[in-house]
Amino acid sequence: MNPGIQCPVPEYCFVVYLDGEYKEENRRIEFCEMVDRYGTAPKGVESRKLEAITVVSVMHRGSYADLGLAYAFAAKWIQNNGYLITGNPRESFIDGIWNQDKEENWLTEVQIPVIKDKK
């Protein structure tokens, strides 16, 4: 529908987990990908600009099965540094099975939206 729209290099995309808690099955997600301009969205797809937010970011190298360690580290950091979680977590898959032969080279950025606690 929009052959002129490009994904800038380096590409940037992420998945937002909408359930508010970990679920093993039937997860609701939102897939976001940066593009160079708006176009006509096909049915079931929304095109919108996301506002800038502050996140606690943890880089996780290795298996997706171990991502819980990155979340635990981020949660502890948030608690110990006077921040409050303000939104659903998201993950940006930087390196993975599509470009790395070894699982230990996979790289995922875990992002948790926060604000400074005013207490």
**CATH code of the domain covering residue 63:** 3.20.80.10
Does residue 1 lie within any of the structural domains?
no
CB 32 within 8 A of CB 49: no
Whole-Å CA distances, 41 to 1, 36, 48, 67, 116: 8, 14, 10, 32, 36
Could you tell me the residue range of the domain that residue 51 belongs to? 13-116
How many independent structural domains does the chain possess?
Answer: 1
Full-model pTM = 0.85
What pLDDT, on the 0 to 100 scale, is given for residue 84?
Answer: 97
CA distance 15 to 57: 14
**Residue 5 counted as domain residue:** no
- d(CA 66, CA 70) in angstroms, rounded, equals 8
Average pLDDT of each block of 10 consecutive residues along the chain (119 residues)?
87 89 86 88 85 96 95 97 95 94 96 93
Tokens linked to 78: 């948030």
